[in-house]
Amino acid sequence: MGRVMEGEAVDAATLRRWLDVLAARLSERADYLTQLDAAIGDGDHGINMDRGFRAVRERVLDPGNEAPLDGLLKGVGMTLLSTVGGAAGPLYGTFFLRMAAQAGAKDRLPAPELAAALAAGVEGVRQRGRAEPGDKTMLDALLPGVETLERMLAEGRDLASALEAAAAAAEEGCRATVPMVARKGRASYLGQRSAGHQDPGATSSAYLLRALAAAVSGS
Amino acid sequence: MKKLINAVDDVVTEALQGMQAAHPDLIEIHLDPNYVVRRGAPVEGQVAVVSGGGSGHEPMHNGYVGLGMLSGACPGAVFTSPTPDQIYECTRRVNGGRGVVHVVKNYTGDVMNFELAAEMARADGIEVEAVVINDDVAVQDSLYTAGRRGVGATVLAEKLAGARAEAGGSLGEVAAVVRKVNDNARSMGMALTPCTVPAAGKPTFELGDDEMEIGIGIHGEPGRERMELETADRIVDRLMGPILEDLPFRSGDRVLAFVNGMGGTPLIELYIVTRRVARVLEERGLRLERSLVGSYITSLEMAGCSITLLRLGDELVRLWDAPVHTPALRWGV
């Protein structure tokens, strides 16, 4: 079932379930993401993410693929780099490649190491996009999400509830992009007119953490 | 959505196949990853020039591959940057041993994807010099934006840099031409109607029957302001003002005027625009040295236009007049 293992760790099966839940969510919400992007960008975010994660399903989540944890994540990163395009391709591609590098060749990833891998991914996004919190980007969902995860784990919470809180923090961070004025990406061309719209990248990033929480809790 | 397509997912691929059928003497296409190269590439001993970007701006960039212009072009999905693997493979394919210049339009995605591709090519020992084009004065260039967009100057830079490469220029010299064009060109566009990305199925934005958008981007990104439709002359004045002030262009300067259609505007209207552009130049004491009028960097079926002014001297005039033979631009051959 891809449940959390005893000793609070995730295995490749759980990560595969995460990616599958995320792919389904992105497909279901493709039109919505594209609408958000049309308001302040170029109207292709949902289409691009859906195309990328359909490729992830075909190439990486293939049942015959028995890649270890890091191989799985690297496969996702490379697939997204070569299929998504736009800004989201290099950003999400970098996220999964950095996560893979941090995770290393393991069968199971203990909770703190999962958090560290996610944090490495987020740092990769920050570097590649040269963005900072408050710029109305993916980071505004990813950073509060991963910071919450690390804090809750440090406080001794179990992984499922820490991830639930992380997903909620990412969603809150995503909603907080509504009044922000964009400073990066195509939305920044609008200046003040970008305020009043939710950032599509922050939205897909919130889905990413919500899907991880769902995959780990098994719900 | 009413479009001459077979299937949404096949738009880019089938258009490439059509180009191959039309121009076997000029280009070779490669599918998966998608790129277009000059027939017989690489040209040994010659610097290569590669560009790329989202599809939907035809004839840019694929239509500019050939003698005296681009060595290779990488088309992404419609309005979406190409991916690093495409750009990397195209770069390897056209490298004639003297390095490759990447002409990159300043969009967050394009810049990142070209950056990754250049890193991959350099790891193979290929010299790559990337130059970013950012000529759109509709966008304020500040720390608070992704910077100005690359628009009309891209077409001019590709022609002029290609001519320099054809004449035996070094990697540094060809890249310097791109930089020179970018430093001396300014553009601004406007839209009368929106456009529809095939995969989206509906227009990227709404525009009322009596409205226009000034400062539009080439992906339908909303522009500076939306206002009531005006006469062609008034619209030209609105575009020319910011362009002329920005460089600034001064009395006595020699300029190339590029009046571009966004895809859905007929040539007859572009000439009405050009008429006013020529008058404004004359009033300001600028010399209209060369011109290019037509739909060369488009936004699918969007109606509207953009104006690009390039200040040039003898060197750029000579490079402009040099022979070019590509699917979309041909003279001197």
Return the residue in A186, A193, A197, A199 with the most chain B beta carbons within 10 A, the one to mutate for interface testing: A186
Q: Is B57 annotated as catalytic?
A: yes
pLDDT tens for A16-67 read 999 999 999 999 999 999 999 988 887 789 999 999 999 999 999 988 888 8
Residues of B in contact with A181 (CB under 8 A): 144
Spans of chain B, pLDDT less than 70: 141-145
The residue annotated as part of the active site, out of B30, B102, B219, B325, is B219
A139 close to B (CB below 8 A): no
Q: Which of B68, B1, B72, B71 is nearest to B34 (CA)?
A: B72
Residues of A in contact with B138 (CB under 8 A): 189
Q: Which of B15, B17, B49 is nearest to B128 (CA)?
A: B49
For A31, A76, B113, B177, B285, the CA distances from B99, given in Å and listed in that order, are 42, 32, 19, 15, 41
Residues of B in contact with A81 (CB under 8 A): 83-85, 116
pLDDT tens for A58-116 read 999 988 888 889 999 999 999 999 999 888 999 999 999 999 999 998 889 999 999 99
Q: Which of A196, A155, A163 is nearest to A9 (CA)?
A: A163
pLDDT tens for B140-167 read 765 566 789 999 999 999 999 999 999 9
Helix axes A159-175, A139-154, angle to 10 degrees: 150
Mean pLDDT of chain B: 95
| Burial bucket for residue A100 (CB in 10 Å: 0-12, 13-18, 19+) | buried
Q: Is B61 annotated as catalytic?
A: no
The whole-number pLDDT of residue B123 equals 86
Mean pLDDT of A189-197: 85
- Complete domains list, chain A, with CATH: 9-217 (1.25.40.340)
The whole-number pLDDT of residue A111 equals 96
The whole-number pLDDT of residue A192 equals 84
The whole-number pLDDT of residue B180 equals 98
Residues of A in contact with B113 (CB under 8 A): 85, 89-90
B205 close to A (CB below 8 A): yes
Q: Which of B218, B191, B213, B199 is nearest to B106 (CA)?
A: B218
Res. A189: pLDDT tops 80: no
pLDDT tens for B211-230 read 999 999 898 777 788 999 99
The whole-number pLDDT of residue B224 equals 82
Res. A219: pLDDT tops 60: no
Are A2 and A215 in contact by the 8 Å Cβ rule? The answer is yes
The residue annotated as part of the active site, out of B23, B57, B61, B102, is B57
Q: What is the 3-state secondary structure (H, E, C) of chain B?
A: CCCCCCCHHHHHHHHHHHHHHHCCCCEEEECCCCEEEECCCCCCCCCEEEEEEEECCCCCCHHHECECCECEEEEEEECCCCCHHHHHHHHHHHCCCCCEEEEEECCHHHHHHHHHHHHHHHHCCCCEEEEEECCECCCCCCCCCCCCCCCCHHHHHHHHHHHHHHCCCCHHHHHHHHHHHHHHEEEEEEECCCCECCCCCCECCCCCCCEEEECCCCCCCCCCEEEECCCHHHHHHHHHHHHHHHCCCCCCCEEEEEEEECCCCCHHHHHHHHHHHHHHHHHCCCEEEEEEEECCCCCCCCCEEEEEEEECCHHHHHHHHCCEECCCCEECC
Residues of A in contact with B1 (CB under 8 A): none
A125 close to B (CB below 8 A): no
B296 close to A (CB below 8 A): no
pLDDT tens for A198-208 read 999 999 999 99
B251 vs chain A: nearest CA distance in angstroms?
Answer: 31
Q: Which chain B residue is nearest to residue A87, measuring alpha carbons?
A: B109
pLDDT tens for B256-287 read 999 999 999 999 999 999 999 999 999 999 99
B170 vs chain A: nearest CA distance in angstroms?
Answer: 30
Q: Are the beta carbons of B144 and A47 separated by less than 8 Å?
A: no
- Complete domains list, chain B, with CATH: 11-183 (3.40.50.10440), 185-319 (3.30.1180.20)
Sign of CA dihedral A182, A183, A184, A190: positive
Q: Are the beta carbons of A51 and B77 separated by less than 8 Å?
A: yes
